[in-house]
């Protein structure tokens, strides 16, 4: 008998498709968020990335506010804010402000990677490497600024004090699992692209978890790539845009998201490349029936409390349809 209810959510990069303006991209993200709310999704997270023409979510907190304003009940947050890029004080002020405007709807997911290349990381913050190594201490500072007790401190984020903003730790390696467990915070693993350490990270987190005031039991979120269409063949066609995007990452030739094409022997060969095959290991592509079987197996293996779906598709209408079908799958499996 199944006793666990697995939540389902969205992770978005506000992908910019070829031929689309940024305004159209942001309007498409809002349209998706509004549909996600009606489909029963728990949260809609945006990821901070920089210096990539096909990613529009670089000013993450600004875009969070835009989507929160256009929705009513959906949780909106970061998956994540790359904390070493920022001052903890500024992040507390930004998210304290958002949470005052949209009470009980704002999440703060934090990661330690730069979300960009080395040169851009240096341009964002000259002491990035030092800040990355100090991530646990920077996390402590962020939490302190949100605490009501900080009202007596010399340095304050006054708009954040006592404001309810749940903090999540993001990770793609085992380091983050130790930290999330020690802090008693929910843990979101980026298994939609960093597949190698998924099982070790989950095991470490659950084994070492220490209950906190905000969380009594471990809470695991796992990322999955989801592309669903009415037929397996159509889903494979939509998948070609993501494959080309991944090739661009490996070759350093990033470009706008390309329109889908028919799946070719060349693209199938690319998928068999060891690095790409490993990176896309938890990519579930096909009709609703096909994907449902894969998702069921993944849920049973990970026992994740929440799946966060990444659907990198060229056209927003196809993305919305894929997320609608994924919501149907999750409702049926729950």
319: CATH? 3.20.20.30
Per-residue pLDDT of 176-228, as tens digits, reads 999 999 999 999 999 999 999 999 999 999 999 999 999 999 999 999 999 99
Using the predicted structure, report yes or no on whether residue 125 has a pLDDT greater than 90: no
Both tokens of residue 259?
Answer: 């329109």
pLDDT of res. 253? 84
Q: Of 23, 32, 71, nearest to 310 (Cα)?
A: 32
Contacts 24+ apart (CB under 8 A), 129-138: 131/83, 131/84, 131/85, 132/84, 134/84, 135/83, 135/84, 135/179, 136/179, 138/83, 138/84, 138/88
Using the predicted structure, report yes or no on whether residue 34 has a pLDDT greater than 80: yes
Q: Work out the percent of the chain whose per-residue pLDDT is above 90.
A: 91
Overall domain count for the chain? 1
pTM, whole model, 2 decimals?
A: 0.96
Both tokens of residue 112?
Answer: 């330690």
Half-sphere exposure of 281 (CA within 13 A, CB side): 14
Mean pLDDT of 233-259: 93
80 cis-preceded (ω within 30 degrees of 0): yes
Q: Is the dihedral of CA 79, 228, 331, 223 positive or negative?
A: negative
Mean pLDDT of 56-68: 98
pLDDT of res. 200? 97
Dist CA 12 CA 193 (whole Å): 14
Residue 2: inside a domain? no
pLDDT of res. 117? 84
Using the predicted structure, report yes or no on whether residue 320 has a pLDDT greater than 70: yes
Give the structural domain span for 246.
7-333
In which band, very low, low, confident or very high, does the pLDDT at 2 lie, cut at 50, 70 and 90? very low
Residue 1: inside a domain? no
Residue 311: inside a domain? yes
Residue 285: inside a domain? yes
Both tokens of residue 270?
Answer: 């690319």
Mean confidence (pLDDT) of the chain = 95
Residue 49: inside a domain? yes
Residue 289: inside a domain? yes
Do 220 and 244 touch, CB atoms closer than 8 A?
no
H helices of 44-173, where? 60-69, 88-101, 118-124, 128-133, 135-146
Residue 260: inside a domain? yes
């Amino acid at each position: 008998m199944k006793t666990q209810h697995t939540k389902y959510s969205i992770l978005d990069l506000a992908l910019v498709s070829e031929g689309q303006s940024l305004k159209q991209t942001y309007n498409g993200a809002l349209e998706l968020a509004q549909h996600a709310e009606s489909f029963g999704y728990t949260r809609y997270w945006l990821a901070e990335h920089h210096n990539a023409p096909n990613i529009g979510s670089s000013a993450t907190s600004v875009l969070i506010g835009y989507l929160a304003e256009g929705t009513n009940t959906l949780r909106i947050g970061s998956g994540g804010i790359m904390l070493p890029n920022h001052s903890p004080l500024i992040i507390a002020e930004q998210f304290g402000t958002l949470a005052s405007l949209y009470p009980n709807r704002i999440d703060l997911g934090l990661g330690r990677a730069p979300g960009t290349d080395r040169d851009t990381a240096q341009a964002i913050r000259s002491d990035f490497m030092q800040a990355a190594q100090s991530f646990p201490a920077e996390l402590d500072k962020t939490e302190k600024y949100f605490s009501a007790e900080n009202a007596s401190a010399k340095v304050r984020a006054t708009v954040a004090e006592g404001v309810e903003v749940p903090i999540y730790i993001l990770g793609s390696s085992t380091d983050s699992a130790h930290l999330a467990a020690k802090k008693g915070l929910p843990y979101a693993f980026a298994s939609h692209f960093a597949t190698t350490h998924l099982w070790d990270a989950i095991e470490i987190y659950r084994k070492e978890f220490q209950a906190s005031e905000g969380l009594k039991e471990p809470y695991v979120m796992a990322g999955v790539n989801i592309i669903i269409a009415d037929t397996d063949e159509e889903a494979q066609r939509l998948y070609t845009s993501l494959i080309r995007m991944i090739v661009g990452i490996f070759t350093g030739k990033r470009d706008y998201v390309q329109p889908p094409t028919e799946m070719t022997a060349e693209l199938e060969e690319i998928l068999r490349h060891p690095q790409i095959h490993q990176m896309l290991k938890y990519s579930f592509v096909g009709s609703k029936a096909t994907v449902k079987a894969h998702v069921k197996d993944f849920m049973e293996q990970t026992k994740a409390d929440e799946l966060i779906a990444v659907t990198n598709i060229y056209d927003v209408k196809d993305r919305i349809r894929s997320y609608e079908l994924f919501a149907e799958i999750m409702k049926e499996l729950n």
